Structure 1
């Protein structure tokens, strides 16, 4: 009975299976007919669409299909290419112009398959004749977060570049974390940026490579314009610059030929925006017109004479109208038509009045005060030279001692002996001796009269400094010994007038060191190899690249300008600085002493004896001088900056092994040491880059240099250097010796002797013009604690932490304002009544930034 029943069940099951099978076959057949019917009728399933917005800042893609874009999938790899699967091409057509900012927004739709996923990159092809600037792009994928792309790049015609442009989204990956779809794109883009190191680089080529400073001379204009190549030798070491590949000059194959005014090559992504370039050129032209009075077209012989009175100096600040014919005749041939139009418009909008430099605003005689003279060593434009003295008398590195005696200073130490004062960290020195002595015989020609100086100072109980003595040295004719003269402080009479002359010679030394070493070499020049290496080895997808790129904005373009107009043979610095044609050789000599690990603020303060180690302090150091405005404000900012960078690095790298396995970082660091700063590759003080702590110190120091350090030395130049008697750039007379005709002239009229010791009228006006331009903020500047776009990186934690960093800077601002109002901090205002604002971040002022404000810390060396 049971067996029979089981057979019936099995039979029923088999019948059921056959019925189900027939149903499936029928359904398949029906599906095939439906599909065939759809194909036959020309209908397809609805494709998945991705919506995008592309913002163009300059230029305008033409209508039609001249500019095409394709998206690369982040998750799906095309096996035929090994790269992310591509969308169908879409085109930039019918953009909408924003009247407020003149940007054009293009709305685009991309057709992709259902499995496409999220875009990780896109390629753009420009088949039209003109370039355009792509600002940004955003893509909206259904049921997914918006994908952002910060592009900020010129898109040149493919007929010039012979390749498409690729952009990666703002989501960052370490090399080992790169999605498979983007690995080849990442490698190819970096390889393209490195170039092949040959040929003359064209405007549209995005190539980053290194070269020596072999473009400063112009031997084809005569042997007096020849200059040595800097870099690549023990005798003239120097950081590397961006390679241009220009042909060599006719008379010297070691020297690169000179470009036109605006013809120097700069990689497209490093160039200033047209608006900024026009504003900068307008500032230059306005300053030239104002101070050099070019309506004369050529300087007259009178301009090369000396001023006869202080009133003549004040007349230099009077207003002069911009002559239209001068613009047309002198400027128009040098610049493209579009830039010339922008320059004319910008000049019309500029204010007519040029204010007196701040050093004169409250008290026209404050610059002569000894307290103001010493205060500027702590709160002026060059506050990183002064040192604490612990050995008396001072001596050179070769052991040669100063001629300053105890009797010269001990009566002025408030009852302390020299040893007691040094033990209490109360004797300081401004030392411009050792590096200058070897150059003075070459410098003191054609009417230049320069000494090597040492200035000793004493810290009073009220935290101000008083000068003790100035030693002025010259090399003897034989070079075996020095000719020295010690001048002591005095008020009034002949001794007081001689003391003023000695202070002026010290100011000349300090001005030259400020311009050549601290402002140019230790910020502009040393940073360029870091920029080149970053572009060559850190993909835009790398989080460290994303961190650094705002801090490199416009620096390479400005450096190219400097080589072409300021540092070159016959350039502005050679014309105004006492070091003349020896200037860049002097800079090379000081580069021999440069160490990257000493460029952080705490390390610099420790080296100069301005601070002592103290692990209980947030920065790890404690200042030896309570009222040192640069040091106090700088440490506040350093602590905030260090904390932000440290948190960023700890978030990116979970441990030291993660850093060591990051081949992009390791190759970046290797090339900086062995190529970019190749003349120093054998130094043992470079960080090993084997720990995350090494990276934290490196990145904090880099950002410090390009933002805070540069701002502290740049934006106060007009306030202090804009009045030549306060900080002259050269002296035309030595201090007279008794019994000479010069001393008789000095006794007859000390003020006239002083005025004739200063540079000529032309040299003064040229130096004022330079610092007036350099002290100006540009209207489009982005400041520390800010980003040019809120979507600079697609990472919620990093964005939140950056906002905290910006808020912490605002707290620093409050402390700076409070200190500036405290009368007990006398060095923050001084006799000239100039509040110390050079390290005031100014994070909340997002409007009216342009002009001379004496405050604000730009993200980058952008002027």
Structure 2
């Protein structure tokens, strides 16, 4: 991989014969490194890179960020175990915790020293010509990465749940929410812990939560959740079901796509999952969703339609129904919206880019920084996250085989063209002209989409003058064909016009950056607290809304050991922010600016305008959040990494 983008990118049809031969030689070498395979056991059938190329390993900067996050988790774990010992619940030797604290202190000191050295070193450099100067240079950077990997391994050994700790936590269901709060010792308790039972919070998660891509308008009462006119009017004061339908104010989340998941077990305890349907409405004169009905199991004719209730006899049945929806939402989020439709989609485009667009190609230069870290993190997920005995196996409802199958089908059925944000929201009936006026994911997402689209258009038109330049670009056509065929990505058609190419690149960059941010970072802010969102419930869904109790509701929640595992995994995944959108740096130390073409990097050039546009988007979202009842920060450009790297 080059240290920086070429000063003068070129299209293959414009090169001399000798230049074309050089391009072909470079592509041949790249194709030998970036080979396809669809035989990775955990995602079998999905095309990914066969063997991780060295160039795809993370930078020193990334490893530093990871080490600091794992340090926080280690501190928290030590205090959790210390509390269990103090309560007489754990047989763990306190001397082990003293040793753990010593490891944490030593690692913390090394990490702080290394970070200070790097910051000072980079501040004193202007380019690659100074790499041999005093301080950290490329060889030293590799040594530092090795040290950080070793530190992370030591810390992970502390974080892993030891036998004595798991025995102390046990498989028994907790008797109060305090049990889950007790897992947060040095890590802040997320705000959702105090609001997740609120019905308006429950509704808001459909439009501003981890999975904001499923809500859709309905024009008739769904067969799977047949709320009556009387039930509806009792829930939405001053409204009629007929009016809500006629005015486009009724919406649903239908989780039937989860039907292929086969519930498994953990530690001998059965896990449960159904495919609920939840109905929501925008009241007359309102702008935000309210929940109106849930059918926990539409496949069961006896499953009742449940509605919001405050009476003691019906309240806990409603809370249990919401938990059933949250579990379904957690599975859809992790397997569909997150793993399949960001991580695995982007890897197909990334592999094809390296195989078919020469390093001299302007589209290679535009896209490759948006693939940084993706192949590495996907390999890590495929070999640890979604494997037997891994977090998905433990926390989520399905047998690991059925969860894997679900993710594969979710990826292979995804249509790249239809998934473009402006098209997707219109297809779901929730566009900007819909009755759903409060939809932060949509509204903030469109701002980011438009900024990316403008940047891509200005960049592309520097190198392509006419549509014939697109059709005559043999590398570009081979690239698109490989993504559709070898990459098995539906809806990725070969571009025939400049606008086609703009659309493909916009969707690629948006998916790798903003879309991934919208599904990744809520994992910490919302999903690290298991009662709010988790992967399975642990008693059957209620078959009546009458007579349930708080104890029944708590019994559906995960064992504390799994809640702690969920906290650790999702805190880590949702904490690492690496290189925000609009930042284009070399992956090689000391990370000089990536673009060098004067047509792109001039003071008033396309890149500067893109960065200014992102700053404007940031200001608009900050202003919106000041007016919103519940601020939405997951699409602030400063909090959107450029690539899917965690």
2:581 is aligned, of 781, 784, 797, to: 784
Relative to 1, partners in 2 of residues 1:624 and 1:209: Cα closer, same or farther, differing over 3 Å? Answer: farther
Cα-Cα RMSD: 3.3
User: What is the match of residue 272 of structure 1?
Assistant: 58
Larger RCO (CA within 8 A; separation ≥ 6): 2
C-alpha displacement at 1:573, in angstroms?
A: 0.8
What is the distance in 1 between the residues matched to 2:218 and 2:632? 25
Cα distance in 2 between the residues matched to 1:644 and 1:326 = 44
Report the counterpart of residue 715 of structure 1 in structure 2: 521
Does structure 2 retain, via aligned residues, the 8 Å contact 1:599–1:705? no
Does residue 727 (structure 1) correspond to residue 513 (structure 2)? The answer is no
Q: Give the equivalent residue in structure 2 for 1:837.
A: 633
The answer for the alignment partner of 1:660 in structure 2 is: 471
What pairs up with 1:220-259 in 2 under 5 angstroms? 230-231=44-45, 239-244=46-51
| In structure 1, distance between residues paired with 2:426 and 2:244 | 19
The residue number in structure 2 matching 1:307 is none
Distance 2:244 2:185 in 1: 52
- 2:439 is equivalent to residue 625 of structure 1: no
- Alignment of 1:512 with 2:331, yes or no, is yes
Secondary structure of 1:519's counterpart equals helix
Please name the residue that 1:859 is paired with: 642
1:543 maps to: 362
Question: Quick one: structure 1 residues 187 and 528, their matched pair in 2 at CA, closer, same or farther if it must change by over 3 Å?
Answer: same
Per the TM alignment, residue 564 of structure 1 is displaced from its structure 2 partner at its CA by 1.1
Deviation at 1:410, TM superposition (A): 4.2
Counterpart mapping for 1:492-503 below 5 A: 492-503=311-322
Q: Does 1:820 align with 2:625?
A: yes
Partner of 1:214: 40
1:338 paired with 2:164, answer: no
1:431 aligns with 2:250: no
Question: Which of 208, 220, 225 lines up with 1:379 in the alignment?
Answer: 208
8 Å Cα contact 1:641/1:700 also seen in 2: yes
Does structure 1 residue 468 correspond to structure 2 residue 292?
yes
| Distance of aligned partners of 1:736 and 1:505 in 2 relative to their CA distance in 1, 3 Å threshold | closer
- In the TM superposition, what whole-angstrom CA distance separates every residue of 1:378-428 from its partner, at most 9, and x where no partner exists? 111211111111122x14xxxxx5444444324444444433212212111
Alignment partner of 1:187 is 2:17: no
Contact 2:72 2:186 in 1 (8 A): no
Q: Secondary structure at the match of 2:41?
A: coil
More strand by share: 1
User: When the two structures are superposed, what TM-score results if normalisation uses the length of structure 1?
Assistant: 0.61
How far apart are the structure 2 equivalents of 1:785 and 1:508?
35
Larger-gyration structure (1/2)? 1
Stretches of structure 2 lacking an aligned partner (at least 5 in a row): 91-96, 107-143, 157-183, 587-591
C-alpha distance in 2 between matches for 1:326 and 1:815: 41
Structure 1 segments unaligned to the other structure (5+ residues): 1-133, 135-149, 153-167, 196-206, 217-228, 232-238, 245-265, 305-318, 329-334, 396-400, 477-481, 612-620, 830-834, 843-855
TM-superposed CA distance for 1:473, in Å, is 1.0
Partner of 1:526: 345
| Correspondence 1:567-716 to 2 at 5 A | 567-581=386-400, 582-611=402-431, 622-677=433-488, 680=490, 685-716=491-522
Partner of 1:771: 570
Q: What does residue 110 of structure 2 align with?
A: none
In the alignment, what sits opposite 1:25? none
Equivalent positions of 1:301-320 (< 5 A) are none
Structure having the larger proportion of residues in helix: 2
Deviation at 1:774, TM superposition (A): 0.7
In the TM superposition, what is the alpha-carbon distance from 1:590 to its structure 2 partner?
Answer: 2.8
Distance 1:583 1:483 in 2: 27
Aligned to 1:109: none
**Equivalent pair of 2:271/2:538 in contact (CA under 8 Å):** yes
1:803 equivalent among 608, 625, 634: 608
How has the CA–CA distance of structure 1 residues 326 and 277 changed in structure 2, closer, same or farther, with 3 Å as cutoff?
A: closer
Q: String of CA shifts for 1:416-461, please: whole Å, max 9, x gaps.
A: 44332122121111111x2233435778994112221111111022
Distance (whole Å) between structure 2 residues aligned to residue 592 and residue 380 of structure 1: 24
TM-score by length of 2: 0.80
